[in-house]
Structure 1
Amino acid sequence: GFIIERPGAGVLPERPRNRSAAAAWFSTEVPVLLAAVPLAARSGFEGHAWRLAWAMAGFLHRQGHWQDWLGTQRIALAAASRIGDQAGQGHAHRSLGLACSRLRRYDEADDHLRRALDLFTDVGDDAGRAHTCLNLGQLAERQGQHQQALTHSRRALALFRSAGNRAGQGYTLNAVGWQEALLGNYHSALASCGEALRMLQEVDDVQGQADTWDSLGHAHHQLGDDRRAIACYEHALELFTQVHDRYAEASTYVNLGGSHRALGDLGATRAAWRRALTILDELGDADADSIRANLDQLDASRLH
């Protein structure tokens, strides 16, 4: 991996009190940060440019700022390439792969992730390789290639285990469990995700815990235990709110609505899907149309 360099003499970093304060800081400063990346890149601070882009990628992702995310990472890649920084190029390619995947540009995403994997292999960055394998799994999953997704995730898990990275093992075990569920192996999924949750609680990874509660909810729903599924989804929503992950929050509201529907509670179904629709409309996401159609269908069934 790489380490952000220590601040210079007399520089006092601002340390947010908690996650909410950090999210508020990012929301306020994002226009400045977006301007700082190209400024650094054209002012001889190429290393700063790609590290800044890397540091803000998670926030831009969670808030649905896909085009800003893509733009900053393109600048980051050009800056890192100009100074021959392979680690920087690897991080930029990986982030571009994630952004292209989210924007459904799957061939571009695959190309960026493969390049990232080669670069991380060249510089001996096992954590970078593991994260990229995990992302290749997510990309395969988005394209309906569930067995291939599971193969990538298991490779990522082996790399995180050999590196002794507990957080990486935790969130990769959740990916393994989720992909096992997509293949219909719901009891295996519950075991993998249960182990993931214990690890993620141990390292205080709130985002990972939220993702895992959502996966557990899905497995319980598929096994017909919708009351337990609803409890899992509610845990997930509480944590997604803490980390300000709007897209994941919307996705969990969709799932929550599905479990309420399975129990015949159409009022709760409608409320959950409306929450999802509001968020997806704010993000300008194409998935909003399918939720709108589901709500229309629900309203039509009530009238008959």
Structure 2
Amino acid sequence: MQLLVVTFAFAVILVIATAVAMARRLHARAPDPVPAPTAAPATPDTPPVAELPALIPDFVGRADDLAALLRLVHAGHRAIAVTGAHGLGKSALTVRLAHELRPLYPDGRLYADLGAGRGDVLARLLGALGTPEEERTGEAGALAARFRSRTAGRRILLVLDAATDAPQVRPLLLEGDGCLTLITSRNALTGLPEATPFPLAPLTESDALGLCPPTGPYPAHDVGALDLVNVCGRLPLAIRMAAAAGGHPAKVADRIAAERARLDSLHIADVAARAAFEAAYAALANADRHLLRTLGAYPGARPTARIAAAAAGWEQQDAHEGLERLMAAQLVQPAEAPGAYRLHDLIHRFAAERLEHDMGPAGCRAALERLLAADPADPTAVPRLVRAGVREGLHGAAYRLAATADSRLRDEAGQLPRIAMWSAVLDAARRAGEHDWAAHALRSLGDAYRREGRYDQAVDHLRMSIAVQQRAGARADQIETRRLLGDALHRAGRYDEALREFRTALDGCRALRGPTGEADILRGLGALHLDRRRPDEAIACLEAAVPLTGCPDIRRILGSAYVQTGNLTAAERCLRSALAAYRHLGRAVGEGWTLRELGHLEERRWAFGPGADHHRAALAAFDRIGYGTGVAAAAEAIGDNLLAQGDEAGADAEYRRAAAVHGGLGDHVREAEVRRKLSM
């Protein structure tokens, strides 16, 4: 009891002392200039991110274009859009330029394929820059602000390949004076004045002749070679494929010209490229044609031999050998990931058309069904594959793939592809009357919205899932759903509702005599009680959870609860145990929060020096991984500590740092709250 009285008296004195110190500042206060957000400093032992694709080995020509682009860069243009038709070599030229510019951008070279079905590009780019998972989810505006904050003040090059339109590109543009964004698009991007347009023309005849392997470049006087490159529209992609088809250039040119006339009469777009595709396809063996067209059923951009085998219904070794033959024919290219291949968007569309034309609806459906059973490892392909399965009426196979892959998709930086996937499954489940599928889809959607920070939508979907589970009598499934619902309500600030859901989940878990999930429910309850300022109830829940799991989060929250009650000895024991576990696991975010809590504990003991040391250690841990939210919280804690010691100048420096980071993260409410603590 005496300890509680002393601790309470200390807390009151500390609050009064801080309030008085801050009140003295408010007289004659002048507006404080808002500093620009600063990026988290790069750690010296972490190499800069280098994501540029490999150079194309047979890149030829474009010397004038490269020189013109380099002049734009050196003139200070910070965004350049290389635009033009399919198959012109926009990506190859831009990647070549990016490689030449590498020495100018030592802090990182990023690459994003906007045409590869990656719905959460910002989240992926933040991850590539080392942003912790906690800051890679949320609304698009907040993610864009974090991306700008992470890249500000650094020299970074970003390649945005296959952009569709200006709204897709604008949130991704780098804004720092030392940064450069290179964009490729088949569209003119007229709504993007921030980017300098660079329309790309077809190759010159002399450059185009350099793309006629395997017998080497044909001389300019070779009429057959000239006919070949011109009938291909002097498009690099078409020329490579036509040359790889074999035969004398004049004969290949005649075949392509005939096919081009047929396509032109049908008013089919991309005539030159498509005519070359048809010629290359006709030159393939029957087995390789089958492999190429079945790849058209795969919605991902980077198939592997395992995926190709599933699409074609072959053994994996046969598929690998077939892919190598397609690569020799210039129909696929090696991808950056080991064992993966890349299909140009036009070739993928051509393959899908040939699949439908040559094999009919039954063949398309069979290839898709095999792919659904293959469970691709590519997280960007799974949601699109599930949606394709739903469209084709393969509801059972689509649901099984979604359920199998969901544990992987849960850990992805962004949740939008997962939301799209489960929305398709939910629609199919409702039409088919599959209540179990519907309940699962609703729960997964609720969890995805919760991870995105969209708590109202999370609550709605989780409650709908519970309603379906109740009608089906699925008591065990309700437990996890109610835990997720309790967490979403807690995060939304709806504490009373959250308490009811957690308690109902806990009662259900214990009634079924299954310890699985009980620790997570108790942890959620403990954290909720802590926010409700009920530390004794929090301690009871968390102490019960400790024997059920080795998770250090529970010990950290338990330590915070003991701090609130004034039992600083027990608090320190829990916090130091959690700190050791976090360091052993390499979890810097947990380490930082625990150090910050240890700092508050020392302040409760009037030990402001050790308290400031812990806060600075927390700041260093957060700074090491670029976790902006933690950096801001630790800086503010240091400011509070210094202010209580009478160091107003030192406190102001830390408050400014915290406010700048909050602003860079797009959290302007917290930014304003911290700025109110500033002196003149």
TM-score normalised by the chain length of structure 1: 0.71
Deviations 1:194-252 (A, max 9, x none): 22232236xxxxxxx244234324324544434642431442565585xxxxxxx64x3
- Closer, same or farther in 2 for the Cα pair 1:210/1:43, shift >3 Å? farther
Larger displacement relative to structure 2 (226-235 or 70-79): 226-235
Aligned partner of 1:136 among 462, 471, 485: 485
| Whole-angstrom CA distance in 2 between matches of 1:213 and 1:59 | 27
Find out whether 1:77 has 2:426 as its counterpart: yes
1:1-304 mapped onto 2 (5 Å cutoff): 29-200=378-549, 209-222=551-564, 223=566, 224=568, 225-226=571-572, 228-236=574-582, 238=584, 250=589, 252-262=590-600, 263-265=611-613, 266-275=615-624, 277-278=626-627, 288=628, 290-294=629-633, 297=636, 298=638, 301=651
Tell me: CA distance 1:214–1:39, structure 2 relative to 1, closer, same or farther (3 Å).
farther
Following the alignment from structure 1 to structure 2, what is the Cα–Cα distance between the partners of residues 211 and 303? 31
CA contact (8 A) 1:153 1:176 kept: yes
Larger displacement relative to structure 2 (183-192 or 65-74): 183-192
Distance 1:80 1:213, change over 3 A: farther
Distance (whole Å) between structure 2 residues aligned to residue 296 and residue 169 of structure 1: 36
Residues 99 and 214 of structure 1: is their aligned pair in 2 closer, same or farther, counting only changes over 3 Å?
farther
Tell me the distance in 2 between the aligned counterparts of 1:228 and 1:200: 14
Is the Cα–Cα contact under 8 Å of residues 257 and 273 in structure 1 kept in the other structure? no
Q: Distance in 2 between matches of 1:128 and 1:147?
A: 23
SS at match of 2:612: coil
Separation of aligned partners in 1, 2:446 and 2:490: 14
Q: Aligned partners of 1:210, 1:69: CA distance in 2, in Å?
A: 28
Q: Who is 1:244 aligned against?
A: none
C-alpha deviation, 1:128, in angstroms: 1.8
* CA apart distance, 1:173: 1.8
For residues 538 and 557 of structure 2, the distance between their equivalents in structure 1, rounded to whole angstroms, comes to 8
Distance across 2 between alignment mates of 1:166 and 1:277: 37
Contact preservation (8 Å) 2:578, 2:594: no
**2:612 counterpart letter in structure 1:** G
CA contact (8 A) 1:80 1:86 kept: yes
Q: Distance in 2 between matches of 1:240 and 1:58?
A: 22
1:80–1:253 Cα change, 3 Å: farther
State the Cα distance separating 1:168 from its structure 2 match: 2.1
Write the distance in 2 (CA, Å) between the matches of 1:174 and 1:216.
Answer: 9
Q: Tell me which protein shows more strand as a share of its residues.
A: 2
1:124 Cα deviation (Å)?
Answer: 0.9
TM-score (normalised: structure 2): 0.34
Give the 3 Å change call, closer, same or farther, for CA 59–123 of structure 1 in structure 2.
Answer: same
Query: SS of 1:65's equivalent?
Result: coil
- String of CA shifts for 1:65-109, please: whole Å, max 9, x gaps: 221221221122122223211111111111111222232323322
Contact 2:506 2:522 in 1 (8 A): yes
Conserved in 2, the CA contact under 8 Å of 1:181 and 1:189? yes
Flag the 1:129–1:45 CA change in 2: closer, same or farther, 3 A: same
Relative to structure 1, the CA distance from residue 292 to residue 269 in structure 2 (aligned partners, 3 Å threshold; closer, same or farther) is closer
Q: What is the aligned partner in structure 2 of residue 9 from structure 1?
A: none
Give 1:296 shift. 5.8
Aligned partners of 1:66, 1:237: CA distance in 2, in Å? Answer: 28
Counterpart contact for 1:210–1:239, Cα < 8 Å: no
Partners of 2:582 and 2:591 within 8 A in 1: no
The answer (yes or no) to whether the contact 1:49–1:79 under 8 Å persists in 2 is no
- Helix, strand or coil: the match of 1:38? helix
- Note if contact 2:387-2:424 (Cα within 8 Å) is conserved in structure 1: yes
Residue in 2 aligned with 1:19?
A: none
User: Are the aligned partners of 2:376 and 2:382 in contact in 1 as well (CA < 8 Å)?
Assistant: no
Secondary structure, aligned partner of 1:166: coil
Measured at CA, do residues 137 and 275 of structure 1 come closer, stay the same or move farther in structure 2, by a change above 3 Å? farther
User: How many residues end up aligned between the 2 structures?
Assistant: 254
Query: Using the alignment, how far apart are the partners of 1:210 and 1:50 within structure 2?
Result: 35
Q: Does the aligned pair in 2 maintain the 1:210–1:237 contact within 8 Å?
A: no
Separation of aligned partners in 1, 2:563 and 2:418:
34
- Taking every aligned residue pair, what percent have the same amino acid on both sides? 24
Work out whether residues 555 and 574 of structure 2, in 8 Å CA contact, stay in contact via their aligned partners in 1.
Answer: no
Residues 260 and 114 (structure 1 numbering): CA distance in 2 closer, same or farther, change over 3 Å?
same
Q: Write the letter of the residue equivalent to 2:497.
A: Q
More displaced stretch, 294-303 vs 142-151: 294-303
Q: CA deviation at 1:48?
A: 3.0
Q: Contact 2:539/2:561 (CA < 8 Å) preserved in 1?
A: yes
The 3 A distance-change label for structure 1 pair 70 and 253 is: farther
Higher helix share: 1
Q: How far apart, in 2, do the equivalents of 1:39 and 1:229 lie?
A: 49
